[in-house]
Structure 1
Amino acid sequence: MKRNRLWLLLAAFLSAAVLTACGTGEENADDSSSSEENAGGEQSAGEEEADSDQVYTIGATQIEEHPSLDAAYEGFQAAINDSGLEVEFKYESAQGDQNNAITIANNFVADGVDLIFANSTPSAQSALQATSDIPILFTSVTDAVEAGLVEANDQPGENITGVLDLHPDAITSTVAFIEENYPGATVGLIYDAGEANSVAQINAVNAAIEGTDLSTAEATVGNSSEVQQAATSLVGEADVIYIVTDNTVVSALESVIGVAEEQSIPLIVGEPDSVKRGGFAAYGFSYYDIGYRTGEMAVEILKGEKTTADFPVEIPPNLDLYLNKAAAEAQGVEWNDAWDEEAELVETEE
């Protein structure tokens, strides 16, 4: 009897131990699950905080420094800053050297920047050569197709697109202005034959002149130090000088202005910033504005809302005639009173 009672007590004890062990395991499993959920929740909150505090890095590459390109970069930065994004800008100028532009682009890729802003055709070409992964946004590019940046303006690259610095009517409007005011004139053209941006424009000028009574005389340069000599070579041949948006020539525009004033040759330029520097006339737009628009694209790309493939290559939204009355007088231009109503008058900046 005692033995039976002993066995019953032992069985009861073993049953209680098993139940206790099972209960502990279930509680531990619940605690583990709860801990994982909490860890997941904390990680999610951390990720959200990281996203809101993320600092992006943009590599800005520019072939050289002159007012138009500088204005485009200022507009680009303004759009980024207006968006509220935290961005660190790494700016590099190639100082007019294509080899420097290639090195800059490769360094940006090595640094792992989040986006490259390529301000000029050579800068965009160098960036695209350096990477097919990092998004590239260009501006101050005249012909993205001719430069090999995209297949077509409505077919942006997998990692590249941007805003052009040539309105489709700019050259034809300029040629029409020259023909109207200087019929039968020989138009002097100075450009860097090694810059695709410039060659495309010169081809467009020659195409626009076909069928008119105008003719052209060309002088090419390889660097900015050759610009004054090229301008001087046109004296006695050119009735008007027309400088397209060639980075090499525009960076040394004062050399051309000096020749134009000394020889009383009207100087037509490709954009308003060059009119402010002493050019007589230009059909153009604000480089700040095209830079700003490029910056708006960058914001959407950095936020992950769009990719470069979602943005067709864009053109400047407006085209206006800009005239500098003081420059006209210095270059022996007879002022047409109708221009006061037709054009936006610009003063020379000191």
Structure 2
Amino acid sequence: MKKSLIGLLTVIMAALVLTGCSNNSSAADKTLNVGILQIVPHGSLDAARKGFKEELNKEIKQHDKSIKVKYNYQNAQGDQSNLNSMAQQLTQKKNDLILGIATPSAQALAKKTKTTPIVVTAVTNLKSAGLVKDDRKPNTNVTGTKDLGPVDKQVKLLTTLTKSDKPIGVLYNSSEENSVLQIKKVKTYAKNHNLKLNIVSVTSTNDVASALSSMSGKVSGIYIPTDNLMASSMKTVGKKAKEAKLPVVTGSIEMAEDGGTATYGINYNDLGKQTAKMAYKILIDKKKPQDMPVETSHTLRLYVNKDNAKALGINPDKIQKP
């Protein structure tokens, strides 16, 4: 009898242990690990990241409140060696999905893994960056959202703010693929509309102030595309451009907020949220990036930096969507 009781207790204890392991496993399965790699801190990319996290948290909570999302955020501070080591770290860890913010981050991640799902945002052209085979059907482990804005309409907007017949100044980082692509579009628009351009490229934030000084008195206004280096320098741009009484139209709303005059373009917080909806489909609906078309921004907005416009003698209420 005693042996039978001991045997029964042993079976019960073993069952409890197994049940406990099962519960722990179930709890572990309730956590989703999401890596985030960002090339540099600045308004546009920060907004994309915040929008992504906010929307993904909301979507996951609506689906199942017991699921937690754990983020591993890495910022390379504009350093390529940091970017490579951080990409290696994120791909070696067991992340369920990784977000790459901006072209260099996306490329660094894509070189490190061909299996972990990657969604990207703030990338101008995924195909030309070697991230996908085709926008409609990526056929790689990468998909996401493009941030290519309406360059032609942005340049047109600038022409409505200029007060002279001098060339339009264009300032960009020649080391960024996304910027080079946009400058090609600027040149095409200028050729088709008989506009003269004064194009200046920089490769360091230290060059921005001197580049702007060289433009003073020679241009009627300045166009700056979505560009990571220039986005990091917008406060310098705003100060120098106001001193020279030059209107500045930027590629993104966040850049205009930081020192531009106006833009008709993308809101990166919205773009981050749009990217999060794609991530949700991968994490919860088990969709594969290979089959998910690359998306462009669903919304474009006219934004006017009223303080900047007034400082230049421009009535902000008169600025209209191009």
* TM-score of the superposed pair, with normalisation by structure 2: 0.85
Query: Any idea what the Cα deviations from partners look like across 1:96-145, whole Å, max 9, x if unmatched?
Result: 12222121111111223221100101100111111111111000111112
In the alignment, which residue of structure 1 is the partner of 2:26? 50
Report if the CA contact (8 A) 2:267-2:300 is conserved: no
In the alignment, which residue of structure 2 is the partner of 1:247? 228
List runs of 5+ in structure 2 lacking aligned partners. Answer: 1-10, 62-66
TM-superposed deviation, 1:213: 2.7
The CA distance in 2 between the partners of 1:53 and 1:306, in whole Å, is 18
The CA distance in 2 between the partners of 1:48 and 1:299, in whole Å, is 24
Within 5 Å, which residues of 2 pair with 1:120-269? Answer: 120-167=102-149, 170-182=150-162, 184-269=165-250
The CA distance in 1 between the partners of 2:23 and 2:218, in whole Å, is 68
How many aligned residue pairs are there?
Answer: 299
In the alignment, which residue of structure 2 is the partner of 1:10? none
The CA distance in 1 between the partners of 2:249 and 2:104, in whole Å, is 24
Query: Any idea what the Cα deviations from partners look like across 1:256-295, whole Å, max 9, x if unmatched?
Result: 1111011111111111112222311101132111111111
Report if the CA contact (8 A) 1:179-1:212 is conserved: no
The CA distance in 1 between the partners of 2:249 and 2:173, in whole Å, is 17
Within 5 Å, which residues of 2 pair with 1:270-289? Answer: 270-289=251-270
The alpha-carbon distance between structure 1 residues 256 and 338, as it changes in their structure 2 partners (threshold 3 A), is: closer
TM-superposed deviation, 1:52: 7.9
TM-superposed deviation, 1:69: 0.6
Within 5 Å, which residues of 2 pair with 1:67-86? Answer: 67-82=43-58, 83-84=60-61, 85-86=67-68
- Amino acid across the alignment from 1:171: V
The CA distance in 1 between the partners of 2:39 and 2:172, in whole Å, is 16
In the alignment, which residue of structure 1 is the partner of 2:64? none
- Amino acid across the alignment from 2:100: A
Report if the CA contact (8 A) 2:237-2:259 is conserved: no
- Amino acid across the alignment from 2:194: D
Report if the CA contact (8 A) 1:57-1:90 is conserved: yes
Report if the CA contact (8 A) 2:309-2:316 is conserved: no
In the alignment, which residue of structure 2 is the partner of 1:102? 84
Report if the CA contact (8 A) 1:61-1:91 is conserved: yes
TM-superposed deviation, 1:49: 6.6
Secondary structure of the structure 2 residue equivalent to 1:191: strand
Q: CA RMSD in A?
A: 2.4
- Amino acid across the alignment from 2:196: S
The CA distance in 1 between the partners of 2:248 and 2:144, in whole Å, is 30
* TM-score of the superposed pair, with normalisation by structure 1: 0.79
- Amino acid across the alignment from 1:147: A
TM-superposed deviation, 1:48: 11
Report if the CA contact (8 A) 1:149-1:157 is conserved: no
Query: Any idea what the Cα deviations from partners look like across 1:126-165, whole Å, max 9, x if unmatched?
Result: 1111111111100011111222212221121420010111
Mark the structure with the bigger radius of gyration: 1
TM-superposed deviation, 1:225: 2.1
The CA distance in 1 between the partners of 2:295 and 2:27, in whole Å, is 30
